[in-house]
Amino acid sequence: MRVTRSTTSPADKEAALAFSKWLLDIGDGLTGVPYKQSPDTKIIDIPTQFLIQPGENGLHQLIKFIYDDDILHNPTASNLSERAIVCPKNETADEINELVLASSPGECSTYLSVDSITPHSHSQGDTDLMKDNMQEGRISSIVPAGPAIPIKIRVIRKWQPRLRNSDMYYFFIDKHGDGIQASVHWLDKELFERKITLFSCYLLEKYICDDQPTPPRVNSHIASIRMGTKASLTLIPTPDAFPMYYFNFCPYSDLSLRTGDDQELLTDYLAKLEYTTPGTTKKGREYLRLRLTDISGEHINATLWEEVLPKFDKQAMLAAEQPIIVALTSVCVSTFNDRVQLASTIPTHIYFNPDIEAATAIRNRFYNFYYRNENTVDIFVV
In-domain check, residue 123: no
For the chain, strand residue ranges (E) read 33-35, 38-43, 151-159, 168-173, 179-184, 201-205, 208-211, 223-227, 232-235, 267-280, 286-293, 299-305, 325-336, 339-343, 350-352
> Which distant-in-sequence residues (6+ apart) come within 8 Å of 367 by Cβ?
323
CATH number at residue 227: 2.40.50.140
Interval 260-273: pLDDT, tens: 766 789 999 999 99
The pLDDT value given to residue 122 = 60
261 and 366 housed in the same domain? yes
In-domain check, residue 288: yes
In-domain check, residue 266: yes
299 and 266 housed in the same domain? yes
In-domain check, residue 243: no
158 and 267 housed in the same domain? no
Whether 313 and 352 have beta carbons less than 8 Å apart is answered as yes
In-domain check, residue 109: no
Which residue ranges of the chain lie beneath pLDDT 70?
1-8, 111-135, 261-262, 368-382
For 59, 101, 117, 263, 351, the CA distances from 72, given in Å and listed in that order, are: 14, 8, 26, 62, 65
The residue out of 183, 208, 235 marking a domain boundary is 235
In-domain check, residue 120: no
231 and 256 housed in the same domain? no
In-domain check, residue 114: no
The pLDDT value given to residue 71 = 83
221 and 161 housed in the same domain? yes
pTM of the model: 0.63
Concatenating the DSSP letter of every residue in 96-154 gives HHHHHHHHS-S-----S--S----TT--HHHHHHHHHHHHSB-GGG--TT-----EEEE
The pLDDT value given to residue 62 = 83
The residue out of 58, 86, 103 marking a domain boundary is 103
174 and 257 housed in the same domain? no
Dihedral-angle region of residue 375 (phi above 0 means left; psi in -120 to 50 means alpha; beta otherwise) = alpha
Amino acid letter, 100: V
The pLDDT value given to residue 377 = 45
The residue out of 52, 87, 103 marking a domain boundary is 103
Return the closest-CA partner of residue 355 out of 322, 325, 318, 316. 325
Domain that holds residue 320: 252-372
286 and 213 housed in the same domain? no
Interval 68-113: pLDDT, tens: 888 888 888 778 778 888 888 888 888 888 888 888 887 777 766 6
Number of separate domains in the chain: 3
175 and 280 housed in the same domain? no
